[in-house]
Structure 1
Amino acid sequence: MKRLNKLKKDYDAIEIPPELDDLVKQSIQAAKKPKKKSSPLRNWSIGVVAAAALFVGSINVSPTFANSLGNIPVLGSIVKVFTIQTLTMEEETYQANLNTPAIDGLRNEGLQTALNEKYIEENKELFTKFKEEFAKMEEAGGGHFGMDSGYEVKTDTEQILSIARYKVTTAGSSSTEMQYDTIDKQHTILLTLPSLFKDDSYVEIITTYIQKEMKKQMEEDENTTYVAVEGADLEFSSIQKDQDFYITADHKLVISFDQYEVAPGYMGVVTFEIPSDILQDALVGDTYIQ
């Protein structure tokens, strides 16, 4: 914690620019070119993306820390993901089991510390919300309430680490929400969906494919439907610019929707693997999506 606080103080002296995704794109393009001597701009931009994407502007990047990133060789790394903390509560009608992941082995220790701190804070916040809901239900006469959280490593290659984190809330029926972090281990970059593309055209391209795929699946299986509530006008219309996603080991983009987001609850979390060929013209490069 002392080390993280020191990083925060150092970072606070430098202003974060708003064009974070543009900086990631520069790094993606740079990764495709023959290796040259690292420029101060490139080193600084990688550090900004790593810190700012996690702390939403509260942490800035110091020149010393950023320069150290530029000296990291582009090689594979052995990265471990493990459970560092479990928060539990077990009552007759109230249960919580919140498992917190931690990452070890990233060369960018600042990014690694920031991710781990984020995961701990997320689960602490969930546990606080659980206890608040538990107290409200007790005051109202009791009930049944449960909350579980955990994680799954979706991809772990020499280049890419994709971690899925889930939260399941149960109160009569259950609801599952997902979050994903996808990291370029070689260049220590936390990837965002917009950073993979030249402009916003990917939104329409991916949306059109998913709409067609939804119709195809419904035609092939009568038990498949993509209307959130029967009879309501809640059919899928578009992905968000920052839609949840991860990248597979064979460099495919997978778009993810939470339970109830685009379909009835019985379909659970819904994912679509997007064909890479329809994305080629919109991608910044083929470093990640092939």
Structure 2
Amino acid sequence: MSIRQLEELKTEYENVKAREQLKERVYRIMKRRSIMKKIVNVAATAAVIFSIFVGALNGVPAFAQDIANISGMESMVKILTFGRYQVNDGHFSANIVTPKIEGLLDKELQDKINRDFKESANLVISAFEKDYKEIKEQAPEAHMGVEYNYQVLTDNDDTLAIDVYLLNIVGSSSTTHKFYTINKKTGELITLPSLFKENADYVNVLSEYILSEMKRQNAAGENMFWVEKGDYVEPFLKIKPDQNFYLNNEGDLVICFDKYEVAPGASGSPQFVIPKNIIKNIKME
């Protein structure tokens, strides 16, 4: 690794560490509201953490009830745009979309997910408005933006996969994701453990493949994953049992990481498509 690359890593690391005091204030707020216990806790946490760095309202922005079905969906399971909040004053911008799921057989789960979608979006909006005065006073000429939105990744006869993401732009950009994969035939939410046989060691099987692929890409000069212990970052060792994932249109398992989770910001939000032969012995039939 070159001196320039090390300096870039050091700069990114120090920028992240510099935000810890602001993050601490956000965590205290979230603890009171029990947001961390929600299904979309990752997206909600990121939404508040990163929205601390944005703000600015000219007048009172209006909510737009833009409800639209995703085209081409033949199943009753679908994702809608329930609400939209937009601000743009030239220096600061916000585009905050509230998604809504319909068609799940488990109505209690459906209501919980939709409630969390709404609470997460409202939390981003609240933090955006509250911090406007503070940020504007400190850096009136700053250019900052936040986007909380969703993207349909897979939509076929069997599966609907959705990425609910929070993009923050302040100098550089930071992105966090929460993925939802739904079995359209049963209307059930698919979890990572549910894809594998009972007691299968899927964490280590997936981690070993991903680590080998990270090292391969590093050696080929394709990427710069953190796979060795260094002065500024912890190396990737293994995925979390509930690691972000989705099933693509070919039915392949795709393991996902947030920006800065396993690599420098230039690597974006890395994803690894797992070959079927890697998990064929432990996959649920």
Q: Which interval holds the TM-score relative to the shorter structure?
A: 0.5 to 0.7
1:118-267 matched pairs, under 5 angstroms: 118-142=116-140, 143-197=142-196, 198-199=198-199, 201-220=201-220, 222-227=221-226, 232-267=232-267
CA distance in 2 between partners of 1:172 and 1:55 (Å): 26
Q: Deviations over 1:101-156 (max 9, x none)?
A: 22334454444333332222211111112223323213435333210121111112
Aligned equivalents of 1:225 and 1:54: distance in 2?
Answer: 31
Q: Would the alpha carbon gap of residues 176 and 53 (structure 1) be closer, same or farther in structure 2, given more than 3 Å must change?
A: closer
Letter in 2 for 1:175: S
**CA apart distance, 1:205:** 0.6
Question: Per the alignment, do residues 54 and 225 of structure 1 end up closer, same or farther by CA in structure 2, a change over 3 Å counting?
Answer: closer
CA distances 1:249-274 after superposition (whole Å, capped 9, x unpaired):
22211000011111111111100011
User: Which has the larger displacement, 107-116 or 248-257?
Assistant: 107-116
**In 2, Cα distance between the equivalents of 1:241 and 1:135?**
40
Q: Does 1:79 align with 2:111?
A: no
How many residue pairs match? The answer is 214
Give the C-alpha shift of residue 181 in structure 1. Answer: 0.8
Q: TM-score, normalised by structure 2?
A: 0.67
- The SS at the match of 1:136 is helix
In structure 1, the partner of 2:11 is none
CA, structure 1 residues 192+79, in 2 after alignment: closer, same or farther (shift >3 Å)? closer
Return the index of the structure with the highest Cα Rg. Answer: 1
Residue ranges of structure 1 left out of the alignment (5+ in a row): 1-51, 57-75
Partner residue, 1:268: 268
Q: Kindly tell me: are residues 123 and 55 of structure 1, through their superposed partners in 2, closer, same or farther at Cα, counting changes over 3 Å? A: closer
Aligned residue identity for 2:162: I
Measured in 1, the distance between the counterparts of 2:233 and 2:170 equals: 26
Provide structure 2 residue ranges, at least 5 long, that are not aligned to the other structure: 1-36, 42-73
Give the aligned partner of residue 63 of structure 1.
none
After superposition, the Cα gap between the structure-2 partners of 1:187 and 1:79, relative to the gap in structure 1 and judged at 3 Å, is closer
Distance 2:231 2:40 in 1: 41
Q: In the TM superposition, what is the alpha-carbon distance from 1:184 to its structure 2 partner?
A: 1.6
Q: CA RMSD in A?
A: 2.6
Distance 1:91 1:164 in 2: 28
**Rounded Cα–Cα distance in structure 1 between residues aligned with 2:171 and 2:250:** 39
Cα distance in 2 for partners of 1:268, 1:171 equals 15
Asked if 1:281 corresponds to 2:281, the answer is yes
